[in-house]
Amino acid sequence: MLVGGIQRFRSIYPDIAFQVTEACACPDSNKVFVHWTMSGTFEGERATSSGVSLLTFDLSDGRIAETCVYRQALPAEVLMAQRSKRVEPVKQGILLEKDFGTQSVDSS
C-alpha cells in the first residue's frame, strides 16, 4: 500500500521529505503522473532520489486504486538489499514498485 511504502521509508530515513516537481492528469482517463524528489538522512549521510508515480484512480469513489512507482534506488536501500542478499531488484539502481489497493487522497 502507498501508506506502507511511506512508513517503510520513514523507518530508514526519519527526516525524509518529498517535493512534487510536476503533476499531469491524462485527458479522458483516470490516471495521473507525478514527478517528485525525496531526500533524507541515513547513518549520517544525506541522500536524494527522484521518481515518477503513476496513480490510477477509481472514479466511483475518487480513491487511488493502483500506484506504480519508477525511481532511483537510494544508497541505504542498495546497502540493505546487499545485506539481505536481495541484490537483483536494485542492481541497476532502478526500482519498480507496484501497489494495489484503495487509498484515499488527502488534499490537505
CATH, residue 43: 3.10.450.50
Residue 87 lies in a domain: yes
Of how many residues is the chain composed? 108
Query: Is 10 inside any structural domain?
Result: yes
**pLDDT tens series, the chain, 108 aa:** 566 667 777 888 889 898 999 999 988 899 999 999 988 888 888 888 888 989 999 989 988 888 888 887 777 777 776 776 654 544 444 444 444 444 434 433
- Regarding pTM above 0.85, the answer is no
Backbone angles phi, psi at 67, to 5 degrees: -125, 140
* Grid coordinates given for 105: 487522497
54 contacts 36 by C-beta, under 8 angstroms: no
Round to whole Å and give the CA distance between 95 and 73. 6
What pLDDT sits at residue 15? 92
Determine the structural domain holding residue 66 and report its residue range. 2-103
Nearest to 89 by CA among 104, 102, 71: 71
Whether 33 is in a domain gets the answer: yes
